[in-house]
Every structure is written in structure tokens, then in C-alpha cells.
């Protein structure tokens, strides 16, 4: 069963290791919470909420007690679901056990915020690397007859390379400029078509009528309300076909640029076929 932020905070108050953890963090300038369960298809709510909500609460409580200056919490763009444009607002829309656990994680971090600690919740979109299951899955689709996108095909889709996400986290942890409470990852210029082309090694996807793609996604989403495992897959298909806009990010506003460009995406093609 999904946990509310209040329930998670009550659980965190019952944990007896916070003082010991605070002692270990004493003297640290920055703490980065990059731990969690990234399995967007998981239905194990005990594991999801423990890793993605309770753990951040415990770590932030210990960081507050240790006098840490900045706390960077790695959240996910999944908290905003299918909002027209991903941004850094507090508009969060859980749609699956995984997304609900990430939303609750943000809420407990927000609830434990103190004026004396710089706390930033960072939201990367779908993250890709050679060992990532989602990367291999999309690579297989992109190299198959199922490689399709919705027309016109140049719509952006929120995807990010792991190296760029790591660089953004490092920047948020070390910049002299205080980050805002929420920072979403900027667009890396990925479109639904070039994602398929790059991960397949050059195969151009077929284009579906947009009305048909939207209708099929809508059916899958409705099914996902009844059959929970379908919810995450419906969202993946939506991002691959229809994409999603991304607002300008604070990271771009202060001059941060992703260090790895399109060549990084192309380099994944050989790995996804192995």
C-alpha cells in the first residue's frame, strides 16, 4: 500500500540509527542521496517506499543533525507523469507505485527542509547507459520492425545520458550559486526519431498517424488503472511515440551544458545489440 509523507516521517522517527549516521556525516559540506530503487515497473511497494521515501527521510534527518550545508536529493521526472511540459514546479502526478514512491520521497524531503541547509531536489528524465535495462529495451525496439514514432517525428522526448546526469549532480553539489528547491534536467535535444535512429545504429522508424498513437496510448493508460504493470509500460510507449516538452532549466540558465552530445547516444547502439 502506498505511504503518505506523514506515514514515512513517522517511520523515520522510529529509526534508531540517525545519530550514528549523523556522526559519520559530521564535517561534510554536501550530501548526495543517489540511492533508491529505479525499477519503474516494480509493484513491491515496501521496497519502493523504503528505498525512495524512507531512506531519503533518514539521510536528510541525519544531514540536518550533522550540520551539512547542502543536500542533493536525486528524484525523477516521473513525478510529473504526462504533464504537457516537464518543469521544476511542485506539480506532481503519481500514476504507478514507483512514481508514487518518488513523489513521497520529494514530499518528505520538502517537509524536512531547514533554512540553514541548501536542499535541492533534482529530476532527471529517463536515464541511459550501456547497463541500463531501459536502454537495451529501446535499442531492441529501435532495431526491429516495431520501430515506430508518431507524426511528425521531430517532437522532443525527455531522455538523458548517465554521464550528463552525473555531471549535473556534481554541478549541483559544488556550484557556488545556491540552487532552487527543485531543478529538472534540461533537454538534451533528443527527438523521438533520432532516439530510435541512434540506438538502432541508423534504422529510421516508421511514422504512425498521431491520432492513432494517441488513441492507443489512451487505451493502454486506461488498462493501466486496472492492471498496474501496464501503467509504466504505457508511459514508456507514450514517451517513445509522442514525446514530451521540457521547460528551460535552471541548470541552463546558469550556463551548465551537458558534456556529452549526440555521439554519446550513437555509441550506445553497439551495446544495445549485444
**Model confidence over 195-226: pLDDT tens digits?**
999 999 999 999 999 999 999 999 999 998 88
> How far, in Å, CA of 14 to CA of 173, rounded?
29
The answer to whether position 75 is within a domain reads yes
Residues 75 and 143 in one domain: no
Q: How many domains does the structure of the chain reveal?
A: 2
Residues ≥6 apart with Cβ < 8 Å to 117: 63, 64, 68, 69, 70, 71
Residues 86 and 143 in one domain: no
Per cent of the chain over pLDDT 90 is: 84
> How far, in Å, CA of 179 to CA of 173, rounded?
9
The answer to whether position 180 is within a domain reads no
Domain extent at residue 213: 130-157+189-274
Residues 103 and 13 in one domain: yes
* 22 Cα distance to chain centroid: 27
CA dihedral 230, 94, 6, 38 (to 10 degrees): 60
Give the mean pLDDT of 4-16: 85
Residues 146 and 104 in one domain: no
- Give the residue from 123, 147, 178 where a domain finishes: 123
How sure is the predictor about 128, in pLDDT bands with cuts at 50, 70 and 90?
A: very high
Contact 268, 190 (CB under 8 A): no
Residues ≥6 apart with Cβ < 8 Å to 111: 5, 9
Residues 79 and 135 in one domain: no
How sure is the predictor about 273, in pLDDT bands with cuts at 50, 70 and 90?
A: low
Residues 211 and 259 in one domain: yes
Residue 68 sits in a domain whose CATH number is: 3.40.50.720
Amino acid at each position: 500500500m502506498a505511504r503518505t509523507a506523514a506515514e514515512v516521517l513517522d517511520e523515520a522517527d522510529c529509526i534508531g540509527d540517525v545519530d550514528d549516521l549523523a556522526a559519520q556525516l559530521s564535517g561534510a559540506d554536501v550530501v548526495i542521496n543517489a540511492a533508491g530503487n529505479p525499477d519503474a515497473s516494480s509493484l513491491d511497494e515496501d521496497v519502493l517506499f523504503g528505498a525512495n521515501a524512507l531512506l531519503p527521510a533518514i539521510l536528510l534527518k541525519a544531514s540536518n543533525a550533522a550540520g551539512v550545508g547542502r543536500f542533493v536529493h536525486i528524484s525523477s521526472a516521473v513525478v510529473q507523469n504526462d504533464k504537457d511540459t516537464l518543469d521544476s514546479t511542485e506539480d506532481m502526478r503519481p500514476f504507478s507505485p514507483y512514481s508514487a514512491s518518488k513523489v513521497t520521497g520529494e514530499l518528505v524531503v520538502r517537509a524536512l527542509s531547514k533554512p540553514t541547509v541548501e536542499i535541492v531536489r533534482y529530476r532527471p528524465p529517463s536515464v541511459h547507459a550501456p547497463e541500463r535495462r531501459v536502454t537495451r529495451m529501446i535499442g531492441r525496439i529501435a532495431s526491429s520492425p516495431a520501430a515506430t514514432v508518431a507524426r511528425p517525428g521531430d517532437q522532443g522526448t525527455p531522455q538523458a545520458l548517465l554521464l550528463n546526469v552525473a555531471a549535473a549532480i556534481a554541478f549541483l553539489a559544488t556550484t557556488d550559486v545556491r540552487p532552487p528547491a527543485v531543478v529538472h534536467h534540461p533537454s538534451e535535444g533528443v527527438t523521438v526519431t533520432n532516439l530510435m535512429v541512434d540506438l538502432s545504429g541508423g534504422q529510421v522508424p516508421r511514422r504512425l498517424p498521431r491520432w492513432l498513437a494517441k488513441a492507443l496510448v489512451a487505451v493502454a493508460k486506461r488498462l493501466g488503472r486496472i492492471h498496474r504493470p501496464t501503467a509504466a509500460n504505457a508511459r514508456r510507449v507514450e514517451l517513445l511515440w509522442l514525446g514530451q516538452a521540457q521547460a528551460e532549466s535552471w541548470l541552463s540558465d546558469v550556463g551548465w551544458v551537458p558534456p556529452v552530445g549526440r555521439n554519446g547516444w550513437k555509441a550506445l547502439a553497439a551495446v544495445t545489440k549485444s
